[in-house]
Amino acid sequence: MASLTLKGIEKRFGKVIALSRVDLQVEDGEFCVLLGPSGCGKSTLLNVIAGLVPQDEGTVQLNGHSVDRLTPRERDMAMVFQSYALYPHMTVAKNLGFGLRMRGVPKTTIRKQVLDTARLLGIDDLLDRKPRELSGGQRQRVAMGRALVRRPEIFLLDEPLSNLDARLRANLRLELKQLHRQMGTTVVYVTHDQVEAMTLGDKVVVMRDGEVRQTGTPETIYSLPADTFVATFIGSPEINLYQGRLLHKGNRLTFQGKGFSIDLGDLRIDLTEGEVEAGIRPEDIRIRGTAERPLHATVEMISDVGSEKYIHAHLGNENMTIRAPKDASFRPGQIIDFNIDVNRVHIFQKGIRVGL
Ligand code: ATP
């Protein structure tokens, strides 16, 4: 087990800045997820940690000691890639034991560790099969087993579930979480899937254009997004985000949007007035609230996802999505009254969160 520290990591490929001033602390036993859209630098960062790509600036530390001069092998980190890269001619048992054999581990130890790992992953009945005789999910378990079998200091996973169908992904995600709980190994996991990041991570690192935009628990990232990018990237359906002005009337704040205004009451915020963006999550809109002055929206369309309904509506000149219970019944053209919990309104100025 190990802690990982990254300080001031920079990486350029020609003119492309793949990583810029990346600082990160991953605690011993923590499950840390690197999350961001395609091309944001997640894989490059994982490769820098593993020692497969040298950084231009900055340092990678394991348990407080620099590993910058160590080869990938010497770093004792195990990596699992999106492509399982199993040896097709070897059985599952041979695939699992390959890394240990290469390291000259005695045969009896290999046999024991392979069996222990296979049991942990529920593939002990597949040890004699070849990869072509396995399903996608089974192959992915073998790929993970191959990394797990040698009990690495740190486990690095690059989109390991992305080749699998949605159902299998969800199952393996749960298994991975349980596995982590049992083993307590430090994990750095790359994904562009926010649900995966939020369900797996103790810590989520949201990246964009080579920069870390926010690091925090899933709860923090969701309820206190640091900027409009994080706010819109996390959450489904997406947060409602409106351009407007903050106006101060007496001791009350109002957000004046395009064709509507929201009374923010005495919302604690450092700004008094000016151009801002207001973010409201679809679940923070309460239909037919009991407050004195409800807001009004016109229903345009309803998406029924079974467990709940998403109401797409017009608020002034803007669009709005509301999350409603599954038994809510509305029809297009209907005017609905709603209220917003002002403490859950996110205010951003020039894209950066202000206030609480
Ligand atoms: P994805 O989710 O699509 O895998 P990513 O977030 O992992 O994306 P990276 O693969 O780390 O992103 O790439 C970050 C940036 O660096 C991209 O602009 C990419 O084109 C560039 N890049 C990565 N590797 C190289 C390379 N070997 N040579 C040149 N450019 C590269």
pLDDT in tens, the chain (356 residues): 699 999 999 999 999 999 999 999 999 999 999 999 999 999 999 999 999 999 999 999 999 999 999 998 888 888 887 777 789 999 999 999 998 998 889 999 999 999 988 888 888 999 999 999 998 888 888 988 888 887 888 999 998 887 777 877 888 888 888 888 888 889 999 999 999 999 999 999 999 999 999 999 999 999 999 999 999 999 999 999 999 999 887 778 889 999 999 988 876 676 667 899 999 999 999 887 555 668 889 999 999 999 999 999 999 999 999 999 999 888 999 999 998 888 889 999 999 998 76
Signed CA dihedral, 74, 188, 96, 184: sign only: positive
Secondary structure, 3-state, the chain: CCCEEEEEEEEEECCEEEEEEEEEEECCCCEEEEECCCCCCHHHHHHHHHCCCCCCEEEEEECCEECCCCCHHHHCEEEECCCCCCCCCCCHHHHHHHHHHHCCCCHHHHHHHHHHHHHHCCCHHHCCCCHHHCCHHHHHHHHHHHHHCCCCCEEEEECCCCCCCHHHHHHHHHHHHHHHHHHCCEEEEEECCHHHHHHHCCEEEEEECCEEEEEECHHHHHHCCCEHHHHHHCCCCCCEEEEEEEEEECCEEEEECCCCEEEEECCCCCCCCEEEEEEECHHHEEECCCCCCCEEEEEEEEEECCCEEEEEEEECCEEEEEEEECCCCCCCCCEEEEEECHHHCEEEECCEEECC
Alpha carbon nearest to ligand 1 atom 26, residue: 13
Residue 353 has a pLDDT of: 94
Residue 94 buriedness (CB in 10 A; 0-12 / 13-18 / 19+): middle
Question: Is ligand 1 within 6 A of the CB of residue 102?
Answer: no
Overall number of domains in the chain:
2
| Amino acid identity, position 222 | Y
CATH of the domain at 302: 2.40.50.140
Question: Is ligand 1 within 6 A of the CB of residue 191?
Answer: no
- Which of 233, 256, 278 is the last residue in one of the domains? 233
Report the C-alpha gap between 204 and 114 in whole angstroms: 31
Please tell me the distance between residue 139's alpha carbon and the centre of ligand 1 in angstroms.
26
Residue 267 has a pLDDT of: 66
Question: Is ligand 1 within 6 A of the CB of residue 34?
Answer: no
Report the C-alpha gap between 287 and 294 in whole angstroms: 9
Alpha carbon nearest to ligand 1 atom 10, residue: 43
Please tell me the distance between residue 327's alpha carbon and the centre of ligand 1 in angstroms.
45
Q: Can you tell me which atom of ligand 1 is nearest the CA of 36?
A: 6
Same domain for 261 and 227? no
CATH of the domain at 208: 3.40.50.300
Same domain for 248 and 182? no
Give the CA-trace dihedral at 172, 125, 1, 4, to 10 degrees.
-40
Residue from 10, 44, 52 to probe ligand 1 pocket by mutation (most atoms less than 8 Å from CB): 44
Same domain for 257 and 202? no
Residue 178 has a pLDDT of: 86
Same domain for 120 and 267? no
Same domain for 108 and 214? yes
Question: Is ligand 1 within 6 A of the CB of residue 192?
Answer: yes
Q: Looking at the DSSP assignment, which residues form a beta bridge with residue 336?
A: 297
Same domain for 263 and 228? no
- Which of 233, 259, 294 is the last residue in one of the domains? 233
Domain extent, residue 68, equals 4-233
Residue 14's φ and ψ, nearest 5 degrees, are 60, -120
| Residue that has been written with the tokens 């390959």 in this structure | 98
Strand 318-325 with 352-354, pairing: unpaired
Same domain for 195 and 95? yes
Number of C-beta neighbours around residue 176 at 10 A: 24
Question: Is ligand 1 within 6 A of the CB of residue 145?
Answer: no
Same domain for 281 and 204? no
Same domain for 61 and 31? yes
Same domain for 326 and 286? yes
Residue 66 has a pLDDT of: 96
| C-alpha gyration radius of the chain | 25
Same domain for 162 and 15? yes
- Which of 184, 200, 233 is the last residue in one of the domains? 233
Q: At what angle do helices 166-183 and 107-120 cross, to 10 degrees?
A: 120
Same domain for 310 and 208? no
Alpha carbon nearest to ligand 1 atom 3, residue: 38
Question: Is ligand 1 within 6 A of the CB of residue 16?
Answer: yes
Residue 153 has a pLDDT of: 82
Alpha carbon nearest to ligand 1 atom 16, residue: 18
